[in-house]
Amino acid sequence: MHATNDCLFNNEFIQAQIQKSLSKTIIYDGSVDKAELERNIISYYEKKFRAFTEEHFQYDFIDLFCGAGGLSVGFEHEGFRPIIAVDKDLSALLTYRFNRPWLSEENLIHDDIRELVKKDIFPHVPVIVGGPPCQGFSVANKQKKENDERNDLYKFYVHAVKQSQPKVFLMENVEGILKLYDKIKCDFENIGYIVCEPLILSPKDFGFPQSRKRAFILGINDKYKNIVDELYSVFKISVLSKITGTKYTLWDAISDLPELEAKTMKNATNVESKRWGYTIAGMSVTSTPYSRLINEGIPDEHPLLNHRSKYNNERDIQIYRLLKPGEKSDAESIQDINPYKNRANIFRDKFDKLIADEPCKAITAHMYYDCNMYIHPYQARGLTPREAARVQGFPDDYFFLGSPNEWYRQIGNAVSPLIARILAHGLKNVLKRMKADD
């Protein structure tokens, strides 16, 4: 299932997805020439991916529950190559493949991992990564079930590790998964892996513009039990040495993106304009310190993608205007028109205007439903998918496929690629130490 030198770029797949996206689009104000745009964007990706070679990669890995590929973005940055990625969300898997056109269809498995573990499908690799769906553990889930079946999905991760026998694995999840830590540790011990003390990390601790705590659980093959403490120390020191405290804010992340208005045309998902933004816009050059950080390794001139606003009614737009940054649903200024004012004890955060000069609150898949809790600090609208992707740390030329609501879900479910870079660097140091012991 490995990519080969003559198969690093699938031009037909890239072309088909760009053409499909543009064919759905209706340019309301005639501000974009779709034919010219299509030529320019396809040309951009042809140049980018044809210049991409296997020399970039040092280690292979498998990405379970890969989603749109946030973990993989960071791991690829550090020289890891995904050879298998698994997810049951088709739009997320299409996004994953578009941004890795050197992978063939057989590398990307659209299936429920509960079915896959019945098959002998996972080859040996040095590393397995992934985050089982976390809704059953999430503190944001107000309707938790005592025996939520999603809480058992980590067991299929265990099965894949048993089959592949990697040197190390890294499991990501919300902090709530640690309620099952003892059980998780025992299950992995039963297949020959030592589970290390979890690290609780947030992007803002490393200077990135988002407050989003997640648990990361490192597992080490007990072949290395004699040096396991040293290996964990290597990983932990490598990761924690990158902690800097606040450096980038929400405004650092999004200030250079074009201003937009909330869409006011109802039932017009595919209608786009200069005022409301585009699925695919023209080429742009960004030069802020933060954009240079997330775009490291891509051309300075690159496409502007997935930067378009959601529909809002006039009442919500007026609420967005009246709120000051940092204010929520209980703000006095909106009580005359707040539809949730009689349930303020439940819906205090239903409207939340973000603060520009602080890290952003955690980007979540809830943006799939509405962006009332992610109101732009200066513009009367919610954050766009591209702005959410910026906060997460995705490169600007990372194209999200599917519907606009699916873009939000993919971005909100992803691991921050910037955090993934740091974790991947730590694992690379662990693998180097293991090599010395092999």
Question: Which residue in the list 7, 66, 134, 371 is annotated as catalytic?
Answer: 134
Contacts for 305 with CB less than 8 Å, ≥ 6 apart: 279, 280, 281, 386, 396, 397, 398, 399, 400
User: What angle do the packed helices 417-437 and 70-77 form, to 10 degrees?
Assistant: 50
- 171 phi/psi in degrees, rounded to 5: -105, 135
Determine which helix (DSSP H) or strand (DSSP E) holds 305, and give its type and residue range. Answer: strand 301-308
111 to 64, 86, 127, 313: CA distances (angstroms):
11, 7, 21, 38
Task: Report the DSSP pairing between strands 127-130 and 199-201.
Answer: unpaired
Structure tokens, 189? 């011990």
Give the total residue count for the chain: 438
- Amino acid, single-letter form, for residue 165: Q
Q: What is the DSSP string of 357-398?
A: TSPBPPP-GGGGT--TTSB-SSSSSBPPHHHHHHHHT--TT-
Residue 258 CA to residue 280 CA, distance in Å, equals 13
**Nearest of 177, 185, 170 to residue 231 by alpha carbon:** 170
Is 360 a known active-site residue? no
Catalytic residues: 134
